[in-house]
Amino acid sequence: MCANCLHIVKYKQGNNRSARRNRVSVVKKRPVIAVIGGKKKAKAVLKEAEETGRLIAEGGATLVTGGLNGVMEAASKGAHFAGGLTVGILPQDHKQNANKYIDVPIATGLGIGRNFIIALAADALIAIGGGYGTLSEIAFGLQLGKPVIGIRSWDIKGVIPAYDAEDAVAKAFEALK
């Protein structure tokens, strides 16, 4: 069975179910890649985030972010305009604060505790710059055994360094094979 496929199995009536099952369909699961980073407005960082989001969408993955502004909005914008699916895990208990490029806003009401959900939801994480919030997401990702790639982000054991968006996204997809 494919590791990246969701197998839907139909069982025939009878005593020996395992011998009588028929696979009805196989649905390819889309990888989920989180882009994490701060609310910085530095143009170079935002450009890198937008490019990262675009490449994630073009690669067929779902983009998850914190759903707000800065790196989160730039990555969502890149994925949105490339036709990708964007999910925002919001710290508030309402959806109104999601940036305009989020397709699926998820209000958690957890404040910064939502950083754990972002790391848990992702198959891989790409950190772009960032402050202490990004650091917590990196730590959660590493503790959960997820690949974490960093572009000019925290230099921590376990984080895979990347030169730019193209390098980071390629490393994320490679780590998911």
The CATH number assigned to the domain with range 31-175 reads 3.40.50.450
Nearby residues of 122 by Cβ (< 8 Å), 6 or more positions away: 32, 33, 34, 64, 141, 146
Half-sphere exposure of 65 (CA within 13 A, CB side): 36
Q: What is the pTM of this model?
A: 0.85
Residue intervals of the chain classified under CATH 3.40.50.450 are 31-175
Walk along the chain (177 residues) and give the pLDDT tens digit of each residue: 455 555 444 444 445 544 444 544 455 689 999 999 998 779 999 999 999 999 999 999 999 999 999 999 999 999 999 999 999 999 999 999 999 999 999 999 999 999 999 999 999 999 999 999 999 999 999 999 999 999 999 999 999 999 999 999 999 999 999
